[in-house]
Chain A
């Protein structure tokens, strides 16, 4: 069971949301990582058949997802927008899903899905009374009720507390190990790190990196960093820093130094030692490109 995305682009007028993305997803958990606005939701919507691609094809097991309701027999989706029929109980909600799927025994399927997400004991309460994490689990149960081979989740951990997050991660992990194809999106590196070995990184509509998480993580930590430094004697500090192999360059400005370091670890360890030796007091040390965006854009260049 594979989900194939081939040369997919999607634009809205002049704005390109997804730009020529190609990927193949197999069984197991894959993280779709990228900053907000990278096009993750647009891509997920296209995968789920909720949006036609402007160009390219998306297929589940060779079948297109757009204008093909039959594909939902194999596909489940948990969207980011938290829209549920809050006047239903979780059991009713999941049961409706089971019935709409035309399952032979909808009641049994609903019970099974609810116990899979460990919601059985709350299933007769109205969804409107649930916490965010419980609501999310009810939605996952509804998306899983027909045991789809492919499950897509858009930012499933948003707004969850750490306990709920762990719970959900554990669930996705089990589903992945059972051989299902799970794709979840996230803009938080650590979530992806804990959950999946494989990642697809999207930055401004493009697929920036794809593959094993550890390799990508290494690329991310070993990238050059830029720091803003202010001290009692900037000029002397600049000279001393230039002797360091971990420093690639120093700019001397009116507001202090801009230091380009080869890697994060050795520079941050070396700086206090140098300052101490030279008798210079460091007033300020700011990593200036720590935003996720810059981490991701570095990956695009790498």
Chain B
């Protein structure tokens, strides 16, 4: 484990905001348990729990908390200068931090997604959901890490993106679906699980190609931004 990754993990797990990661997965599992033991058919509850709670809420919110935590929090409190004042190529800072963000997000999402998938249909759906949510974790994390370098208010910007764009527009305006991380993740989960409980709204090739384009694009942007990062703040 690289030193950057180590200190990032320590910083992430050491902050209180880490506890924010717990309620959503617990809630999602809880909500799935009720109909399951009431004997309600999965056709009726799987879609809303998986899509509305999982892909629309849990995945982007967890990614937002973690993604803005690995770099944004250090920029906020100024500890970023300790890492920046080292003879390290900037990608060697961005990539380990991003990997930590992806790892933590994917792990926090995989557990509830797998459990709910098994409850609804079986391990095949569970595994498919892990694949889909991991793709989502990669995409969202990359976007939010880049956002914390573009803006001083990455959490706000991220929330606007998640709520307005993903939550509202891509459900109302069909054209925006082609530019929606949630749709890529859903489509890939659908393909991987081959379940009739999920239905993606974009084609599989589009989802794969766009996922790669978005990841590479935002990663490159983040590295570029960090290379010319200016420390601002009180000047005296």
Residues on A lying within 8 angstroms of B by beta carbon are 12, 17, 36-42, 45, 48, 50-52, 67, 69-73, 75-77, 79-81, 83-85, 87-88, 96-97, 99-102, 142-143
Give Cα A99–Cα B84 distance, bound, in whole angstroms: 13
CB-nearest residue of chain A relative to B233? Answer: A81
Whether B77 lies near A97 (C-beta < 8 A) is no
Give Cα A40–Cα B235 distance, bound, in whole angstroms: 8
Whether A100 lies near B88 (C-beta < 8 A) is yes
Whether A17 lies near B81 (C-beta < 8 A) is no
Whether A100 lies near B77 (C-beta < 8 A) is no
Whether B236 lies near A36 (C-beta < 8 A) is yes
Whether A42 lies near B86 (C-beta < 8 A) is no
List 4 extra interface pairs beyond A39-B235, A67-B228, A97-B82, CB under 8 A: A50-B85, A52-B230, A67-B227, A85-B10
With contacts A51-B231, A52-B230, A79-B78 taken as known, whether A85 is within 8 angstroms of B87 at the C-beta atoms is no
Give Cα A73–Cα B85 distance, bound, in whole angstroms: 9
Give Cα A280–Cα B64 distance, bound, in whole angstroms: 76
A-B contact pairs, 7 of them (CB 8 A): A37-B235, A50-B230, A79-B78, A79-B81, A80-B236, A87-B14, A100-B3
Within 8 A of A (CB), among B1-25: 3-4, 6-7, 10-11, 14
B90 on the A face (CB < 8 A)? yes
Whether B85 lies near A48 (C-beta < 8 A) is yes
Give Cα A190–Cα B236 distance, bound, in whole angstroms: 19
Whether B4 lies near A100 (C-beta < 8 A) is yes
Shortest Cβ distance from B224 into chain A, in angstroms? 11
Q: In the complex, which residues of chain B have a beta carbon less than 8 angstroms from the beta carbon of A100?
A: 3-4, 83, 86, 88
Q: In the complex, which residues of chain B have a beta carbon less than 8 angstroms from the beta carbon of A48?
A: 85
